[in-house]
Structure formats: structure tokens, C-alpha cells
Chain A
């Protein structure tokens, strides 16, 4: 079977599973909804000058991605783990005997779907926040920041968030290929993503804070959303996304090795 056929087969599998549309819808809805909610709730009414408190409007407007990513994680895990749960992996490998080809076809389709859905979520969030903004206390202070995609840093935060979601999906996919278990993979991924922000909200030692922010896949990766005060970040936007990319590459490679070397 050619690569095109393998990819087409994976696309058919993905789109015909009942849970896929729900997960995609939830990912977009949660990203947009929470971004809007958090922006509506933030206020800088009592700020002496905008530059002190109003640090980063595009980042605030994309907060929802931190929560929408859960559904991306679930989708990415299911793409691989359900093959094992339903034992359809034996049939898939009978059809595509080169295991790496099956593995990469799945990854390609997953990335494509997440990029489309992530873009919808990001655009929706920015549009919603732009519409909400005049009604919030932020509008008075934000004269020097816009949410227009014509603005360089905002554009980078926008497509960077899409890339972030795609990398989270690939990381989850790799973890699922290693663990071959739905519940275990989802729990592992959520642990990997969300324990770091809980830790940073508690600990006070600056050296440890810096370490966690630099190496946590979620905290480092989300630095791509930063648009102001870049010199104060412990890790730059692209370097941060690079850390997440390393995590994803490591998990993808380990997942591939696990598929190639182990019995299914």
C-alpha cells in the first residue's frame, strides 16, 4: 500500500469514529470560551499605567488553549491506543506491513486535523476577545496593544499556539504508542502537562521556578504566546516551543521504536 493510501485509510478511520467530532468541537469551544471568560474577568481599572499591569493582551486572549489542549490530548491518545484496545492494530499492520509507515501516516493525519482545529480555536478566541474587549475594563488601558493578526508578535502568538497544540498532539500520540493504553496515556499526559503549573504556583525558590518553566512541556511551550517583555522570560518564545518540540520528538521516536521492536 502506498503512503497516500495509508494516509487516506487513517483519515477514514479518524473521521468515522464517533468521538472525533465531539472532541474537535470541544477543543474549539473550550479554547474560545475560556479565553473569552478570562478576558472578560480581567481588569486593569486600578492600574496606574498600562505597562505595569497590562502585560500581555494576546497571551491573555489565548489562555483557552491551555484548557482546549485536553481534548487534543484525548484525541491524539485515542488515535493510537484504541487500535490496541480494539485489537484492530493487527489488521492495520496486515494492511500496512511497514510499521513506521502506519505510524507516520497516523501522525500526519493527526497533525493535519489538529492544525485545522487549532487554527479555528485561535481565530475564534482572538475574534471573541476583540469583540468583548470594548466592554471590559481593559479597553481603557490597552491603547498600545492590538489583537490584530497584522501585528507581528500577535501573529506569532497565534500560529505559535497552533504549533503548540500540534506538538502536544504528537507528544500524546508518542506516549500512547509507548504505553498502548488509553487511560494510562491520558493520565500520563495530563500529569506531564499540568503538574508543572501547580508546582510553580506554590514554590518560591527562583532557581527552581526557572528550571520548571524551562523544562515543563506546557510552561515552556506556551512561552510562544508571549508578546511583550520578552527579555524577562526565563526562556524565549521559540526556544520554549523548541523544548516542547524536543519532548514531542523524543516521545515520537520512543513510540516508533516501541512499535517496531515489540510485538503488537
Chain B
């Protein structure tokens, strides 16, 4: 039979064509009646579950003694230099920040000036005004601050971050408390005030501590890769901020009554390092070389206050993504699915059966589309069922192994991130199945297609850890391997810098971006296959 004959057949009236539903039914019948395909399709969920259980039962969290938690139970760090006085009831605190200076040193062998600019660009040093529920690390707070390069921000309770005007020091800042509502303002001249934002801090007691604060985290940057392990550059920083005329209205209890501008202000360092002791550095944003030494005490010169701070006020996230780890079996399961999806079309080419199929339903594109839908749907169902099953099985195992809140928060299958990971795994497997089927249609050879698909999906994962970080990352981003990005569930905070390396499963910031890549592969290959199947002899 020639291609011309088939094209002529395409123009037959619709009554001679089987309906699309019948086409799908016949393709489904083909798929389920080949015994070894059924065996392979049943092996896929078994592999996903087995690998997941193996991963879960052989994972241990680091030794976490007593991680610090914020007001909502989030794992946090809380260390800063605080000059404060009590405020009872409502009130307003105002100051001018004359200057902020970031101090750190970069060894010349790490890249000198360019590296220093990277540190300045990355680090979220903070200087401003804070209202806090006492001096206990992890207590409720709201703060307005200048952050070099990122303007004025209003932050509260570690996880909330509101961007204000793009101003830096020198600038005026103001924080106003009315009940549990705290509003922040910024001004260039101390006369006309622009609002930065308003936050609600529930549970704030009647009496709080207010005043200027400074903190300055350790910058963590990616250094070179060495034989499969990533070296991170850790650069502890110090920020020196000069505040002018910090004033609280109403002034509250005076100190000694000396009338000096410093009168009534107390100098303390809020330091979580005692609480955090024993906490291993999280790989993505690590404390690294142990806690920094305490900064020198605050210095008053008239109404000018010089404050030096180290530390950070921010949420922390664990290095391992528990959900993504337990869904690792997707890599094993996909190999069985790829083999079946490829054979689903190449076996028909090989046996010449495709000619019979096309004779029975001359609309070749419809046949291919029906095949793709059937194999994609089967892969989706397998992926979905196996993901739900593996997470239900591994959750108690992970808890027994010590993956407990606050570092590893409790989760349920209905959490948006967890359900996205489950549906995402199923959708990625479906996209891979369609990609395999389409590539099999184009190449018509089982051996080459199976090897090519598995090489494209599995090997970037391994090779990425042997390449320089940037090359490894682009390898992961541009190959279908990126699809599994959709499994990531660790919360991302825009106000917390993080190191994105393939080892952490970090390929794209946005989980959906990786899914889009695998879908693009599937759609483009499918388009080529639809074109080829029409043009070529069967």
C-alpha cells in the first residue's frame, strides 16, 4: 500500500471512519492484551513504591536538638542587636538611619572583587526599627528596615515580607502600633511620610519592646564543584548602622532621668545561637562555621547611636525535600512505562501490523492521537495511584526516623504542595509516555528510542553533579529531566536567599517551569510524529 492511497482514504466520508471513542477502545484493547506489557505496567507502580519505601527507611535527618520556632511553628533563626525600651499600649517609634555599612572579607583566591559584589548582592542585611514581644528569640515581631539593594521592607513573624519604597540610608523610618496592627512609614526628610505597609501581629501583648535593630547574615555563595561535591563559600558579614534621634511616643518610663538622648534605651543582643546549638547547617542556607562572636555594644554620641549587628531574622528550610525524596521511585517506574509506550508503536511497525491498523482506520493522525491519549492516561493513573500509595506508606516511616516538626512540618495528602507533587508526578509520567510514543513513531526503532528517552531523563540527573554548577544546572533545565521539579514542596521565601544546585533538587524556582519543559518535549515530538505518520509509508 502506498502513502498516496492512504491520503486518498483520508478524504473518505466520515461515516466510513470509526469514531474516536472506538479508536481509543481498540488501542486500549491492544495495550491491555499483550501480556508482557501488562506485566511491565504493573511493575511500574511496584518499582515506584519499592524505591520510595527504600528511600524512606534509609534516610535520617541530621541531629536537631531544639530548633527554634517562630510564632506559627515555622523553623526560624532569630539573632540581632537591639536597642530597645518598653512600650505599653499604642505608640509610635521614629528614627533616621544616617548610614549602613556592610563589612566582610572575601579571600582573594575566591575571586576578589567580583565575589565581593556577589556577597553584597546576595546578603539580606537588615537595619531599622522593631516592635517585639520581649527579647526571647522566636518571639512575635514586626519590623521596618532598610536592606541594601532591596529598598525599605516591612517584615513580621519571620515569614511575612512587604516591599516598600526603593529607598536606602539615609532615610527616616517610623513604626506605629495600634492594637495588633502595625504600620510602617518611610520619609526622606522626616516631614512627609510614605506608607510602607501594614501588618497584623496577632497575640502581641500590651507591653512590647521597641527600638532600633541591626542584623547581618552570613552570605552563602556557590563556589566550585570538586569531584561531585559542591563547595559553598561562607562569608560572615557585619553591618554597622548609624541611627539618629530614635524617639518613642509616648516616651514611657524614663531610665535614670538624666535627660540624655540615650536615657531609657537598653542595649541587648537577641541571640538564638544557644537555642540553635547542635543544629547542623542546612545545605541550602547554612550557618557554616558556627555562630559568630557577639558584636560590640551600642555606642551613643549625643543623639547618634552606632549599632553593630550579626545574625539573621528569617525562616529556615530543611535541605531535604521529604516529599520529593519519597517520590524518587518515579525515576525507576518511568523506565517500565517508557518501554511499554515505545513498544506500543514500534511493535506495530515491526510486525507490519500498523498497515492493518491504518487500513481499519485510515485517519492516521487520529490513530496516533488515540494511542497517545491511551498510553498517557494509563501512565497518569499508574503515577497517581503509586504516588498516593508510596506517600501513605512512607509518612509513618519518615516520622519514626525522626523527620519531625518544626524542621520537617507535618503534611497531609490534601496540602496544596503535596497534592501538586502527586498530580505532578502522574502528569510527568504521562508526558514522558507521550514523548516516548511520539519518539518511537519518528524513529520506529525500539532500542534507540528507549535508550534515548532514558538517557534524556535519567542521565542529566547523574551527570549534573559532575559538571561545573552552572553547566549542570542548564543541563537539568533544558532536558526532560526538569519535569520532576514539580515534585518540590519546600516553601520558598523571596526574602531568604538560597543556593540552587541540582543536588538539592533545585532546577527551577517555580515547580511548574520544569513541568512545562517536559510538556514542550512531548508536544513538539508529537507534532513531528503526527507530521511523519502522514507523510511516510507505514
Contacts and interface: CB of A to CB of B under 8 A. Distances in A.
Interface residues of A, number: 50
Interface in A41-89: 41-47, 53-56, 60, 63, 66-67, 70-71, 73-74, 77-78, 81, 85
Contacts of B350: 85
A241 B246 CA distance: 72
Contact of B338 (A19, A42, A187): A187
A198 B226 contact: no
Contacts of A199: 51, 54-55, 328
Contacts of A97: none
Contacts of A78: 447
Contact of A191 (B36, B54, B332): B332
Chain A at the B interface: SS class? helix
Nearest to A37: B467
Contacts of B450: 182-183, 186-187
Contact of A201 (B36, B454, B503): B503
B471 interface: yes
Nearest to A63: B466
Interface in A3-57: 19, 34, 37-38, 41-47, 53-56
Interface string B457-478: 0110111011110010000000
Given A38-B466, A182-B446, A46 B36 contact: no
B473 to A, nearest CB: 12
A46 B227 contact: no
A205 interface: yes
Nearest to A195: B332
B199 to A, nearest CB: 38
Interface residues of B, number: 50
B231 interface: yes
A197 interface: yes
Interface string A198-211: 11011111011100
Contacts of B449: 183
Contacts of B465: 201
Contact of A190 (B54, B223, B451, B468): B451
B451 A198 contact: no
Interface string B301-336: 000000000000000000010000100100110011
A47 B55 CA distance: 32
A183 B462 contact: no
Q: Which of A46, A56, A202, A208: most chain B Cβ within 10 A?
A: A202
Contacts of A182: 446-447, 450
A187 B447 contact: no
A100 interface: no
A212 to B, nearest CB: 8
Interface stretch (B90-98, B292-300, B339-347, B411-419): B339-347
Q: What are the nearest 10 A-B pairs in CB distance? A: A208-B58, A187-B339, A205-B58, A183-B446, A41-B468, A43-B224, A203-B58, A183-B339, A38-B466, A187-B335
Interface of A: 19, 34, 37-38, 41-47, 53-56, 60, 63, 66-67, 70-71, 73-74, 77-78, 81, 85, 137, 181-184, 186-188, 190-191, 194-195, 197-199, 201-205, 207-209
